[in-house]
Amino acid sequence: MERASSVPAIAGRRRLGLRRAARFGYRTKRRAFICGGLLLPLLYFVGVRLYPILYSFDVSFREWELLSPEKPFVGLANYESLLGDPDFLRSVANTLYYVAAGVPAQLATGLAVALLLRRIGRLRGLYRAAYFIPYITSIVAVSWVFRWILMKNGVLNGLLLKLGLDAQPLLYSTSQAIHLVLATMVWQSVGFQMLVFLAGLENIPKEYEEAASIDGAGAWRRFFGVTLPLLRPVVLFSAVIAGIGYLQSFAQVLNMTSGGPLNSTSSIVLRVYDMAFKSFDMGRASAATVILFVLILALTLIQWKALNRKIEH
C-alpha cells in the first residue's frame, strides 16, 4: 500500500528533477552528480573514521576498563598517570627516535638506490624487484627472520666471531636493540621509498640537468642545485608518510623484542596495545592514542612548514 503510493511520488520528483536539471543545464547536473558521488566517501569517512576518533577522545577521559560496567568520568587522570609513568615516557622517547633517525635514513637510502638504479641499463627490472620485495613481504615474517639472524647465537654473531670479533648481545642489549629494530624497519621500507623517488625523478625534465651541465655544473652541483630542489614535493610527501609510519612503529617491535629489554625498544603504539588488550585499560590506552594524535599533528605541521616553501625555478 505504502509502496504503491510512493512510486508515483518518486516518479514525480524525478520528473521534476529532470525538468529542473534541464532548466539549470548540463553543468549544474554534473556538479550535483560529483557532489553526490563525493558525499558517499565523506559519509563513510565520518562514520568509520571520524566518529571513532571522537569516541576515543571521550574514552580517554574515563576510567574505562573493557569489562567493567561503570565507566566513570575522571577528567585528566589518565593523562596524568601516563605522563607520570616512566615506561610510557620511555616509549615516547623511543618513538621520537624511530622518527628522527628513521625518516632521514629511509629517505637517504631510498634516494640513493633510486639514483643508482636510474643509471643501470641492464637488469633494471630485476634490481627494482629485489629492492621492492621486502616491502611487500609480511612484517611479521621479516621480523622473525631478523630475530633469528640477530639472536645471541644467530648468523650475525657467527659472522662476527669468524671475523675474530666478539659476539654481541644485539637484541638483548639495551643499547643495541633499538638501532637493530630501526634498521629492520628501514630495510623494509627502502623499496617503497625507491619507487617514489624513481617516479619523482622521471618527472624532472632532462633539459634542466643538461642545461646545468652545459653551464659547467659538476655532478654534485647538479644534484644539489637542480635535482634535489625539484624533488622537494616528493621529499615532502615521503617525509610526511614516513614520519607517520615511524610514529606508528609497532609490528617489528612486538615481534622482535616485545619492547624489551627493559623497555629500550617499546613504542607508543606497543604500549597502547598492551594497555588496551593485555590489561584491558581502555581509558589509559585511549589517552595514549590522543597523545600520539597530537604528536602526529605537530610533526606534520612542522614538516609542512619546513618543506612546503614555494618552489622557484
277 interacts with other proteins by CB under 8 A: yes
Could you tell me which stretch among 25-33, 153-161, 198-206, 214-222 binds other proteins (CB under 8 A)?
153-161
Shortest Cβ distance from residue 174 to other proteins (Å)?
Answer: 6
Given the complex with other proteins, which of 69 and 75 has the nearer CB atom? 69
Q: Site for other proteins (CB under 8 A): which residue of 66, 116, 129, 140?
A: 66
Could you tell me which stretch among 25-33, 172-180, 190-198, 218-226 binds other proteins (CB under 8 A)?
172-180
69 interacts with other proteins by CB under 8 A: yes
Q: Which residues pair with 281 in a beta bridge?
A: 65
Shortest Cβ distance from residue 76 to other proteins (Å)?
Answer: 18
262 interacts with other proteins by CB under 8 A: yes
270 interacts with other proteins by CB under 8 A: yes
Q: Site for other proteins (CB under 8 A): which residue of 82, 114, 186, 292?
A: 292
Could you tell me which stretch among 119-127, 129-137, 214-222, 296-304 binds other proteins (CB under 8 A)?
296-304
Query: How many residues contact other proteins, by CB under 8 A?
Result: 54
Q: Could you write out the DSSP letters of every residue in 184-211?
A: HHHHHHHHHHHHHHHHHHHTS-HHHHHH
138 interacts with other proteins by CB under 8 A: no
Q: Please give the grid coordinates belonging to residue 134.
A: 621486502
**Which CA distances in Å does 290 have to 76, 255, 272?**
12, 24, 10
Q: Report how far residue 206's alpha carbon sits from residue 295's, in angstroms, rounded to the nearest whole number.
A: 39
Given the complex with other proteins, which of 34 and 42 has the nearer CB atom? 42
73 interacts with other proteins by CB under 8 A: no
**Which CA distances in Å does 194 have to 116, 117, 127, 133, 200?**
10, 9, 11, 12, 10
Please give the residue ranges that form the binding site for other proteins (CB under 8 A): 45, 49-50, 52-53, 56, 65-69, 147-148, 151-153, 157, 161, 167, 169, 171-174, 240, 244, 247-248, 250, 260-263, 269-270, 272-274, 276-280, 285-286, 289, 292-293, 296-297, 300-301, 304, 308
